[in-house]
Structure 1
Amino acid sequence: MTLEVHLDADDLARTLRADVLTGLTADPKWLPPKWFYDARGSELFERITELPEYYPTRSERQILTDRADSIARHTRARTLLELGSGYSTKTRLLLDALTTAGTLETYVPMDVSPTALQAATARISVDYPALRVHNVVGDLTRHLKHLPGGGARLVAFLGGTVGNLVPAERAAFLSDVRAVLEPGEHLLLGTDLVKSPTVVVPAYDDAAGVTADFNRNVLRVMNNSLGADFDPEGFAHVALWEPEQEWVEMRLRARWPMRVTIPGVDLVVDFKAGEEIRTEVSAKFRRDGVAAELSDAGFTVDHWWTDRDDLFGVSLARAV
């Protein structure tokens, strides 16, 4: 098992400082969702994926369970590159299918969290001893060019995470993925589908309050990393459906007026009661829109699958 680091602790700290300074001096205020994910945030998200309200993980897992063998036969992938791999829980369905097909030689997970990356791949190395595992610590919006080349590659970007990017960011990201691949290589993309807000919103505002705790974790990250004095309980978790954009927004809403000091960026931020920080956008998609965005980036969709309830879509696209 090898480790390639393009995002070390110093780079991560610089990026956090830049995002906090830019986002919390904007009007309205915002923060990127990647800062949820310290060790505690990663554990909270794993809990979210098992909640009854959170359908995306179950729905995508059902698709992969049903279609992994087809994916393996169609791609004949020798290298599986997984972006934002986290704990790699669904990846095993692809690993099993590709190793059974006899083609897979190398697994390359990429994540910003070296802790989650190494914990997951340590188990994979034991369970798939013939597989070469090449860990890449990096930011998928900056470091795709460092992904290794060589033979029949399949890039997997699962979980609907592409929906965390706004349209211009998605276009840039998909173009960057296409630039990494040779013609004929493949992208497996998970996309949450447009549906009733009565189904979507509870997935981001569960009854047990796990998502609220996850949302507030971005404040704890700033406290721990930048010496900030946020009171996480001073912010209410908010999840709203935005019909024009067809996405869910997660926000943190100040319960009362407060002044927050962030020594790590030499910043003092005042919040009015009711003022919000947008912490995540989670776009929902339609089949035609996914195909159009992939086509604009230089892909053609070979296969499109949904779960039995049409809640989630997985597309297998080929670089052209």
Structure 2
Amino acid sequence: MTAHVRLPHPLPVDDATHRAFLTDVVAGLSADPKSIPPKYFYDERGSQLFEAITRTPEYYPTRTETGILTARAAEIAAFIPSDAALVEFGAGALTKVRILLGAAPVHAFVPVDISETFLLGQAARLSREIPGLQVLPVVADVMAAFPLPAEIAARPKVGFFPGSTIGNFEPHEATAFLRHAGTLLGPGARLILGVDLVKDPDVLVAAYNDAAGVTAEFNLNLLRRINRELGANFDLGAFWHRAVYNRELHRIEMHLASKTRQRVRVDGRCFEFRRGETIHTENSYKYTPELFRTLAAGAGWRVATTWTDPQAWFAVHALTLD
């Protein structure tokens, strides 16, 4: 059967996405404390670096979740209706979804990601690997409203959100995402979602401070992207990667800390940094199973089944709409 990949139109350089990037960066650097939304990590280089992070020895979430998906593939496949459309939010390299596609009778696959070049390359590769699968990539921010392809309108829909990416959202944002996903997928929808669990802080801190420095390069690449796309003059050597565990809020916090007092220009605007001042670039919340069930219920979802690894480091939840 001939492969089917529908490619979205490329975005112009001065489009709304670029303007939103500039607006968010200027607002974030003007705030106290300074911060930039983590979705802007994922230009093509950032997406490649994240995939490299998942292969570091310290970063347990990917291999742990992959182990759960592999061990429980038959049970998870039974949760997916026959001839469904599978919609992956924040698709990335499409590594984990291959496990589900190999086990479940999925008719169409809709990978959704903000990084266009990376997404289209991965979607084309998957289509070559599975020529009978209809692959319909969508370039979008998963937190924003976007339409699903018309080709899947009549099919049962199952969402897939692996990697504990939901942990990067503030709790109110996570609730908003779950509500948005329910509305997007529609009545009778199901959702398979990965969540990192609360555990020994030493394990958590090591996962975001790998010895090879890949996570540090990933964090600093955000400044490189701002320089390239927004006309900024960040000196990457004047900042360092900092990741710590906030015990009270059960989250890892990633920052870029200024090594010295300095000024940085972005699109003609000047921003001052004190020595030690940081740009807060990402949170990664960790949940207990009980806390996540409460969060899901608040967004209209019910946890039908939960699968974990033997160490209870990670959970894959199967959700249904109430």
Q: Which category describes the TM-score, using the shorter chain as reference length? A: over 0.9
Equivalent position amino acid for 1:25 in 2 = S
3-state SS in 2 of match to 1:305: strand
Instruction: Indicate if the aligned counterparts of 1:44 and 1:214 stay in contact, CA closer than 8 A.
Output: yes
- Separation in 2 of the partners of 1:52 and 1:256? 32
Match of 1:95 among 94, 101, 112: 101
Aligned to 1:11: 16
Equivalent position amino acid for 2:47 in 1 = S
Match of 1:318 among 297, 317, 320: 320
Percent identity of equivalent pairs: 43
Aligned to 1:66: 71
* 2:89 is aligned with 1:83: yes
Equivalent position amino acid for 2:281 in 1 = T
1:143–1:269: structure 2 CA closer, same or farther, 3 Å change rule? same
3-state SS in 2 of match to 1:44: helix
Deviation at 1:144, TM superposition (A): 4.3
Deviation at 1:145, TM superposition (A): 4.5
3-state SS in 2 of match to 1:205: coil
Instruction: Indicate if the aligned counterparts of 1:5 and 1:137 stay in contact, CA closer than 8 A.
Output: no
Aligned to 2:108: 106
- Separation in 1 of the partners of 2:296 and 2:67? 23
3-state SS in 1 of match to 2:144: coil
- Separation in 2 of the partners of 1:188 and 1:278? 29
* 2:315 is aligned with 1:309: no
Once the two structures are superposed, the pairs formed by residues 15-54 of structure 1 within 5 Å of their partners are 15-54=20-59
3-state SS in 2 of match to 1:273: coil
Deviation at 1:116, TM superposition (A): 1.3
* 2:268 is aligned with 1:293: no
Instruction: Indicate if the aligned counterparts of 1:87 and 1:119 stay in contact, CA closer than 8 A.
Output: no
- Separation in 1 of the partners of 2:239 and 2:192? 37
- Separation in 2 of the partners of 1:114 and 1:267? 28
Q: Deviations over 1:281-304 (max 9, x none)?
A: 000011011111111111111110
- Separation in 1 of the partners of 2:88 and 2:282? 22
Instruction: Indicate if the aligned counterparts of 2:77 and 2:103 stay in contact, CA closer than 8 A.
Output: yes
- Separation in 2 of the partners of 1:3 and 1:293? 35
1:246–1:83: structure 2 CA closer, same or farther, 3 Å change rule? same
Aligned to 1:209: 213
- Separation in 2 of the partners of 1:145 and 1:168? 23
1:7–1:282: structure 2 CA closer, same or farther, 3 Å change rule? farther
Aligned to 1:223: 227
Equivalent position amino acid for 1:121 in 2 = A
- Separation in 2 of the partners of 1:112 and 1:146? 15
- Separation in 2 of the partners of 1:233 and 1:247? 27
Instruction: Indicate if the aligned counterparts of 1:191 and 1:312 stay in contact, CA closer than 8 A.
Output: yes
Once the two structures are superposed, the pairs formed by residues 156-195 of structure 1 within 5 Å of their partners are 156-195=160-199
Deviation at 1:105, TM superposition (A): 0.8
Equivalent position amino acid for 1:211 in 2 = T
Aligned to 1:2: 6
- Separation in 2 of the partners of 1:255 and 1:274? 6
- Separation in 2 of the partners of 1:6 and 1:297? 33
Equivalent position amino acid for 1:18 in 2 = T
- Separation in 1 of the partners of 2:61 and 2:237? 28
3-state SS in 1 of match to 2:192: strand
3-state SS in 2 of match to 1:3: coil
Deviation at 1:8, TM superposition (A): 5.8
- Separation in 2 of the partners of 1:248 and 1:144? 30
Which runs of 5 or more residues in structure 2 are unaligned?
Answer: none
- Separation in 2 of the partners of 1:300 and 1:50? 32
Deviates more, 1:75-84 or 1:226-235: 75-84
1:229–1:14: structure 2 CA closer, same or farther, 3 Å change rule? same
Q: Which runs of 4+ in 1 moved over 6 A?
A: none
Deviates more, 1:72-81 or 1:155-164: 72-81
Which runs of 5 or more residues in structure 1 are unaligned?
Answer: none
TM-score calculated relative to the size of structure 1: 0.95
Equivalences, count: 314
Instruction: Indicate if the aligned counterparts of 1:144 and 1:176 stay in contact, CA closer than 8 A.
Output: no
3-state SS in 2 of match to 1:285: coil
Q: Deviations over 1:100-143 (max 9, x none)?
A: xxx31100000011111111111111111111111100010113
Instruction: Indicate if the aligned counterparts of 1:7 and 1:137 stay in contact, CA closer than 8 A.
Output: no
Equivalent position amino acid for 1:292 in 2 = T
Equivalent position amino acid for 1:108 in 2 = V
TM-score calculated relative to the size of structure 2: 0.94
1:173–1:16: structure 2 CA closer, same or farther, 3 Å change rule? same
